[in-house]
Structure formats: structure tokens, C-alpha cells
A and B are shown apart, each in its own frame.
Chain A
Amino acid sequence: MLTCSQCLHANARTLKFCENCGGSLADVAAAERVADESEAEFMLLEVKKAKGAIGLVAILQIVFAVIWTLTDVVDTTGMVVMLGLGGAFAGLWAWCRSNPLAASIVALLLFATMHLADAIVDPSTIKNGIILKIFVVVVLVKAISAGLKHREFVRERGMA
């Protein structure tokens, strides 16, 4: 709503002049746009919170790949798989800067898939780091939901 500065009539967002008094709405619209942009920026920060969780997963994957290879817990194939996943999360971490919503969707798919697969192959792995797993999933789901809200807001307000 664009509130006319002269008569306080509430006008639709698309209008250029007040329908009640005929005064220009250009200044009100400009102020509204600035407010919208800062609100959108703020909403995007919520989405970018996924970055920390994704970075953490990347670091843990790579660190455990090295430790488990040195202590012979995994073979070369296992190491390549773990490093590949670590690299993928590192890539997603970088992607978060330009497209946090897409990166969060991919991170959730990848994270859930690898842990579900682990759980099926060896059910004893479910409890390993369960708090961390739940934390990562919650952060990613919240980021995706914030990303959808941001997207809806931007579209509604007609911002690029």
C-alpha cells in the first residue's frame, strides 16, 4: 500500500497518483522501494545462514577422510568417496554466496541421501553424531523455507 503524503489515502502499489486527491505518489513509492530492498536483504541473510552448516559438513568430511585413511578405517575407494562428498559440500559452500536457496536444496538432498544410505548399509551409524545431523538438517530446512519466503516477497513487490 502506498499512503498518500497529503491526504493519507491508502493507494494500491501499482498507482502513480493518489486516487483520492490526485497528488503524486512518486516520493512515497521511492521510499517504499528502499524499505522493501532492505527487508529483502535482511530476509536473504536468513537464507545465507545455511552457509555455516554446509561449510562445517565439508570440513568434517575432509578431516575424517584423512583421519580414517591414515588409521585404515576406510580403503582408497572409501577415501575417494568421502573426499568427493567433502569437495561437493565445499563447492556448495562457495555457491551459497550467489545462490543460497539452490545451494541449500542441494545440500539437503546430498546430506540426507548419504546418511540414509549409511543407515541402511550399517544401522549402527544412525546414532553417530545424531545431534549434529539433526542440527544440519534443521538449519538447511529453515534456510530453504526462508529462501522461498524471500523469493515470494521479491516477486510480490516486483523487484528484480
Chain B
Amino acid sequence: MGYREPLSFCGECGTAWTQGASACGSCGKPRVRATQVVKTGMSSGAGLVSALALYFVLLGTLLASYLLDTADFFDVLDSILIVDTIVVLIWAFVHRADLVGPLRTLGELRYWGIAVAAVPVTVAIAYANLWAAVHVVGTTNVDVLQLCINAGYSLPFLLLTWSLQPAVIEELAFRGIVFERLSAVVEPRAAIIVAAIAFTTLHMAVLSAVFLMCLGLLAGWLRWKSGSMYPSIALHLLHNAVVVVLMWTGVW
């Protein structure tokens, strides 16, 4: 619907137009209708496809690593870390219009408070979840983090690769790009749930799904309520850091 010359009567109130007047004498409607605002940015369909493509590219890097079983395990782990970081940064650049707002907002203090206060709870849920996986289901637990600790990585390096990188990159991907693109097509609550499930399934660990889902839902809620990326990044960073330190010190 482009620009159209208004005709004899005002479309708002039905009064006849006064000759030469710039607005309706009865209701004040301007005579020349503004042309419709041109939508900027990507369409909701293209945006959703792009967000789903990000998910499948990340999944692809993870699955490809299983095919590289002849290579050194820790080399593969480092490669995934670097490749996934680059992939997410490329997507973040393409979707920068979605991310600028949440990255420029700090969010209210109480959401930061909730994020920090929730860390002991999410760590406890993670512990209970993995305990149940080992003792109830009887899975032979191969914990990749434990393998890294046994391999003799230093604590600062572990914190960088297991806490800082996942917190920033995963939050940018799921609570940034995926959440934003989903909320363009479904309600925020549904977008939180879908983003949390995508976050859970990408970890490819059905037996840790319960705590990943809790973490994903909470991070999504924080992102939605605060309008900022940072509380969810803080939650994710602290959660992972606490787990790394607990495992490092042998408390876990």
C-alpha cells in the first residue's frame, strides 16, 4: 500500500474535505497520508531460517569431531572451541541489528542479583542430575571436563575454555540470535522454551538434559525480563566457573 491521493471525504470521520486544507477540519487528520514505513532488517522467515542454520552448523562441527576420532582428543576439543567461536561471531555480525540493543542495556540490578543467587541452585541441580545419571541410570560417566583436568590443563586455561568462552559464545548464540529471531515469530515465553531446548539438545547429552534445560530456561527468562544479555552471561559464567573449580579441587 503506497502513497495515494486522498479523495473527497476524510476516511477517519467521513466529513467532506475543505478545498486546499492540509488537514481535516473535523478530526484533524492530515490530508496527505504518510507512505507506509519501510520495514528494515531481515524478514521473520529469513531470520528464523538463519537462526536454525546457526544451530545446525554448530551441531555439524560437533558431529564432525566424532568422525575425527583418529586425531588427538584434546586437539579436536580445541578446534571445536575455536571453530564454534568463529561461527557464532560471524552469525553475530550478520544479526548485529538484533544484538546491539541487548548488548547496550545493562539490565536492572535485581536481575543481576537473581542471576548470582541462582548459581548455587543451578550447580546443585547439575550435581543431582549427574549423580542420578551415574547412580540411578547406571551410566558409565565419561566427563570431558574431568578428562581435561586429568590431562593437566591449568586452572586459568580451564576457566577460559570452560567458563568464559561458553558463557559469552553460547549466550550470544542462544539468548542473543536464536531467542531474538524466535521472538519475532512466537511469543516470548515460547521463544524462551524453544531456545532452551535448542541449547540443551546441542550439548548432545540426554542424561544431563534436566540441568541444561533449567539453566537454559533461567538464562532465557533473565534475557527476556532484563532486556540485556549480561545477567544471563553472568549466570552461565559463574555456573560453569563454580563447576570447574569444584572439579579442579576434587570436591565434586
A148 within 8 A of B: yes
Bound state CA distance, A144 and B45, in angstroms? 10
B138 within 8 A of A: yes
Given contacts A109-B197, A148-B48, contact A11 B190 (CB under 8 A): no
A159 within 8 A of B: no
A136 within 8 A of B: no
Q: Which of A33-41, A100-108, A126-134 contacts B (4 or more CB under 8 A)?
A: A100-108
B10-23 to A contact mask, C-beta < 8 Å, 1/0: 11111110000000
With contacts A12-B11, A18-B11, A22-B14 known, what are 7 further pairs, Cβ within 8 A? A106-B194, A106-B198, A109-B55, A109-B194, A110-B197, A148-B185, A152-B45
On whether the beta carbons of A20 and B9 are closer than 8 Å, the reply is yes
Bound state CA distance, A22 and B166, in angstroms? 63
Bound state CA distance, A24 and B187, in angstroms? 35
Instruction: Tell me the smallest distance from the CB of A102 to a CB of chain B, in Å.
Output: 4
**Tier of interface size on chain A:** 35 or more
What are 6 contact pairs spanning A and B, CB under 8 A? A9-B7, A20-B8, A77-B137, A106-B198, A148-B48, A152-B45
Bound state CA distance, A22 and B55, in angstroms? 54
Q: Closest A-chain residue to B14, C-beta based? A: A17
Given contacts A77-B207, A116-B63, A147-B185, contact A17 B11 (CB under 8 A): yes
B237 within 8 A of A: no
Q: What are the 10 closest A-B residue pairs judged by CB atoms, nearest first? A: A17-B14, A15-B11, A22-B9, A102-B190, A19-B7, A81-B206, A77-B139, A120-B63, A102-B186, A19-B11
B209 within 8 A of A: yes
B56 within 8 A of A: yes
A21 within 8 A of B: yes
B162-204 to A contact mask, C-beta < 8 Å, 1/0: 0000000000000000000010011100110110011001101
Bound state CA distance, A47 and B170, in angstroms? 30
Given contacts A19-B7, A116-B59, contact A105 B182 (CB under 8 A): yes
* B-side contacts of A101, CB under 8 Å: 185-186
B22-41 to A contact mask, C-beta < 8 Å, 1/0: 00000000000100000000
Q: Closest A-chain residue to B205, C-beta based? A: A81
B52 within 8 A of A: yes
Q: Closest A-chain residue to B45, C-beta based? A: A148
On whether the beta carbons of A11 and B11 are closer than 8 Å, the reply is yes
On whether the beta carbons of A152 and B44 are closer than 8 Å, the reply is yes
On whether the beta carbons of A24 and B14 are closer than 8 Å, the reply is yes
Given contacts A19-B11, A22-B8, A148-B48, contact A80 B186 (CB under 8 A): no
A5 within 8 A of B: no
* B-side contacts of A125, CB under 8 Å: none
Instruction: Tell me the smallest distance from the CB of B126 to a CB of chain A, in Å.
Output: 17
Bound state CA distance, A84 and B7, in angstroms? 64
* A-side contacts of B101, CB under 8 Å: none
Bound state CA distance, A144 and B33, in angstroms? 36
B4 within 8 A of A: yes
Instruction: Tell me the smallest distance from the CB of A137 to a CB of chain B, in Å.
Output: 12
* B-side contacts of A120, CB under 8 Å: 63, 66-67
A70 within 8 A of B: no
Bound state CA distance, A84 and B213, in angstroms? 13
